[in-house]
Every structure is written in C-alpha cells, then in structure tokens.
A = this chain, B = another copy of it.
Amino acid sequence: MDKKEEILKTALKLFVEFGFHATPTSKIAKEAGIANGTLFHYYKTKDELILALYAHTKSRLTDYMYANASKDESLELVFKSIYTNTIEWAQENKSEFYFIQQFSTSPFYGLISPEEITKQAKPHLDFLQAGIKAAVLKPLPVDILYTLINSHIAGINQYLSSEEFSTAKQKKIINESFQLLWDMIT
C-alpha cells in the first residue's frame, strides 16, 4: 500500500493517455484511490510530481539496461546486451518508455538542470569512449555516437510497437537491427 508509488503509477498512465495539460491532479488522486490533499503531501506541486516521475522512470530504465552485463565479455557482447535490454524494457514497459520520450520533447525537460542531464549520460558516454579508445568503435565524436545509438533504438522501438510481432520475429528484428547499428559504428 505504498501511496507514493501508487501516485506515480497512476500519473504515468494518465499522462500518457491524456497528456500533462489534460490530467488534473484531482483525477490522479481519484484514480489512485487517495484524497486530493494526500497527493500534495507527497509532491508539493504538480511539476514536482512530473519531475519525480521522470527521474523514477528513467532510472528504472537505466538500471535495466546494464543488468546482466558481465565485464568478462567482449565489448560487442556487452554492447549488444545493453542494446537488447533497452529494447526489451521498452517493449515490456511501453507506457514508461513513451512517457520518457513525451517528457523529453516537452518544455518540462528544460526544468532539469544541465548537470543532472550530464550526470545521466555520463556512464553511457564513458562506455562509448572506452570503445573508441580500444579502437573497436569508429573515432567519431562521442556525442554523435551516443545520439545516433539512442535514435536508432527509439526508431526500432517505434517499429516494434507499430505492429504485433511474435516473440521469435521480434528477436530476429532486434538481432538484425543490432547488426545494422553495429556495422555503422565500428
């Protein structure tokens, strides 16, 4: 009966369905089964709730991305694991992934400090930098690499969400698209 969690869950669902503008806090509270005032007890303002939801969701994704990434394997295998994990998470948590994108291309994104953004991207950039240094990845500016990979994943995810694929077919698409990406950056 974690109300804080319940608020986030409900807010996510409603924001994705109706957007920030058309989701009153009263509706969130009602649908979460709590009183209006309780919501504001946990989140001082609606903006704070939105920001907390983003941070929470983003961190869930990041955690999942790096799961099972044993350091023993080759850079390609580690990279592929991150790639696969990300798309799998996005497919199994479509609302969450959609919310991240919705948030990122909204003025709310501007409320996050540049330091926070840099901090978020740091581990990914370090990983790519190591790949470049090891002469596995092309010596491109690491920011381009990062952006291209992110966009690629967003694209594949959009494609996978556009139709219903069998698990096998989905795996095949992920493998093939990974190969396209890998060939592009190595």
Contacts and interface: CB of A to CB of B under 8 A. Distances in A.
A69 interface: no
Nearest to A21: B21
A91 to B, nearest CB: 15
A25 to B, nearest CB: 12
B147 A107 contact: no
Contacts of A17: 107
A152 B148 CA distance: 6
Interface size class of A (residues with CB under 8 A): 35 or more
Contact of A98 (B105, B147, B148): B105
A184 B143 CA distance: 19
A20 interface: yes
Contact of A152 (B106, B107, B152, B183): B152
Interface in A54-104: 98, 101-102, 104
A6 to B, nearest CB: 22
Contact of A183 (B18, B20, B158, B184): B184
Interface string A165-186: 0000000010011001101110
Given A21-B19, A155-B150, A159-B144, A101 B107 contact: no
Interface of A: 16-22, 98, 101-102, 104-108, 140, 143-144, 147-148, 150-152, 154-156, 158-159, 162, 173, 176-177, 180-181, 183-185
15 contacts: A17-B107, A19-B21, A19-B107, A98-B105, A101-B105, A106-B106, A143-B159, A143-B162, A147-B156, A148-B152, A151-B155, A151-B158, A152-B152, A180-B184, A183-B184
Given A101-B105, A102-B105, 16 more contacts: A17-B107, A18-B107, A19-B20, A19-B21, A20-B20, A21-B22, A106-B106, A140-B176, A144-B159, A148-B152, A148-B177, A151-B151, A151-B154, A154-B154, A180-B185, A181-B184
